[in-house]
Chains A and B, each alone.
Chain A
Amino acid sequence: MSLIRVEHLGVSYGAHQALHNVGLTVEPNEIVTVVGPNGSGKTSLLRAIVGAIPLTAGTVDKKPDLRIGYVPQRLHVDPTLPITVERFLRLPNGVDKQTLDTALERAGVPDIASRQMSQLSGGQLQRVLLARALANGPDLLLLDEPTQGLDQQASAAFYRLIEKVRRETECSVLMISHELHVVMAASDRVICLNGHVCCQGSPDIVSSAPEYRALFGSGTGGALALYRHEHDHSHDGDCDHDHSPKEAAE
């Protein structure tokens, strides 16, 4: 049974339609990566799944008793709020010391339990957010651009970490990203989003799809251009972006 089944999802902010007719599923023990340009509705999709914004159409079905570990895009801890890493991990349902240490260990940041949240570096904060998500023993991790602001090396390390966590805990992962190369190494399935699902498949298929190149330019796809992807993608003319395959420079 799918952990999450999203069908015909629509989200609007006032007159602006951020998402329309989006469908996706996440199966047990699967890493799904959602890619798309800025403003393509990636974050809206995650927020709709956790229930932070109302749906204007469609449904989000979750497996009964699904435990979600949500890692937000960023967490601004106001300097007026004193809070240690340990205290943060105990929100909102207290966890015992053992679970807490295991989660920090697993996230690759042991020994920082007593540090102040506002004094962590970007990479440390990201791992603490992951540890908090892991502490509740999630069936599904939701990661919103977890490597934003990290350099290439740190991003790669973070993705390896996610892979390891998946192996150890057998949880599923739904991750938003715009770094295709690193994502490719880690994910079972990639979904290309721009208001709606443009295309999806295993990573190397997506990288050669015309939609993907149209969104990001041909710079990142050059090496993969030999792989021809047969697209059965059709539009009713209800979207405002260009789907025509761009002639690649190569």
Chain B
Amino acid sequence: MLDDFMMRATLAGIGVAFAAAPLGSFVVWRRMAYFGDATAHAAILGVALSLALSTSIFVGAVAVALVMALTVSALSGRGYAMDTLLGVMAHSALAFGLVAVSFLSGVRIDLMAYLFGDILAVSRGDLGVIWGGAALVVMLIAWRWQRLLTSTLNEDLAYSCGIDPKREKLALTLSLAITVAVAIKVVGVLLIAALLIIPAAAARPLSRTPEGMAITATLIGAASAVIGLRTAYVFDTPAGPTIVCIAALCFVTASIWGGIRHLV
């Protein structure tokens, strides 16, 4: 069954959706959308470094994304607004990454594959990494769920319950770095943030509880991956962007549905 490249691609897309949707819900609730984007852009530098050092791309991407996320967290509130800081970090990391890749002679690198993903080329090994990483993220978020949610609602409330919001933020940052690294192959660094945010945003008008929103987002993400791949196959369009397009259509439909329900 795993011999079929379409099957592997579908499983890869679903795997990423499983990690991205619950994490994406927190990204939406905490208004970290740009933070997700910045972490993803930084990952291209990780890709370049791991190609230069001949290590696993997953490890390189996680490491650089994590360093990037931690640096931004540490520097925020020290004279620069968060969005300025993220803008500086994200685009310089992307630029340095692209320049670094150009230095790698002897290795023929399809840069497009890392910018926009190459889900149809997912190998069995990639699939293992994607599902392993996704399982790690889902378990981490499920384990910290109550504490993450309390910290997201109000930090002082969290402190009064004996929860350290800074530690919970670290858990989210770590999850974000892992998700970015596993999603590179599927949608590429430029579209990872879309996979985080769009399913969660589409799930919002359909949900009454945080858990409901995370589960609905997961379903929307997974459905977008399956339908997007099928559509890409039929119309011969790039797979990663097609998945994002389907997710965006889900968002539009859900918003209209939410609006109508609100009016009636």
Contact = CB atoms under 8 A, between A and B. Distances in A.
Contacts of A87: 209-211
Contacts of B153: 75, 77, 81, 83, 88, 91
Contacts of A148: none
B156 A82 contact: no
Contacts of B155: 52
Interface in A143-185: none
Interface string A56-89: 0000000000001010100111101111100110
Nearest to B31: A78
Contact of B160 (A50, A75, A84, A94): A50
B163 A52 contact: no
B150 A92 contact: yes
A70 B159 CA distance: 10
A76 B29 CA distance: 11
A132 B211 CA distance: 19
Contacts of A78: 29, 31
B159 A92 contact: no
B150 A70 contact: no
A70 B157 CA distance: 7
Interface string A13-24: 000000000000
A70 B31 contact: no
Contacts of B212: 82
A72 B157 contact: yes
A9 interface: no
A47 interface: yes
Contact of A82 (B31, B158, B160, B213): B213
A32 B38 CA distance: 48
B147 interface: yes
Nearest to A52: B159
Given A84-B208, A87-B210, A92 B154 contact: no
A70 B211 CA distance: 24
Interface string B156-184: 11111111000000000000000000000
Contact of B209 (A52, A84, A92, A142): A84
Nearest to B30: A78
Q: How big is chain A's contact interface, by range?
A: 20 to 34
B204 interface: yes
A51 B159 contact: yes
Question: Chain B: interface secondary structure?
Answer: helix
A77 B153 CA distance: 6
B29 A81 contact: yes
Interface string B196-215: 00000100100111111100
A47 B209 CA distance: 29
A51 to B, nearest CB: 5
Contacts of A84: 208-209
B208 A91 contact: no
Given A82-B204, A84-B209, A87-B210, A52 B156 contact: yes
Interface in A114-129: 116
B28 interface: yes
B253 interface: no
Contact of A81 (B147, B157, B162, B210): B210
Nearest to B216: A82
A93 B149 CA distance: 11
Contacts of B29: 78, 80-81
19 contacts: A50-B160, A52-B155, A52-B156, A68-B160, A70-B156, A70-B157, A75-B153, A78-B31, A81-B153, A81-B210, A81-B213, A82-B210, A82-B212, A83-B153, A83-B209, A87-B211, A91-B161, A92-B146, A92-B147
Interface of A: 47, 50-52, 68, 70, 72, 75-78, 80-84, 87-88, 91-94, 116, 142
Q: Lowest 4 CB-CB distances: which A-B pairs, in order?
A: A70-B160, A52-B159, A50-B160, A92-B150
Interface of B: 28-29, 31, 146-147, 149-150, 152-163, 201, 204, 207-213
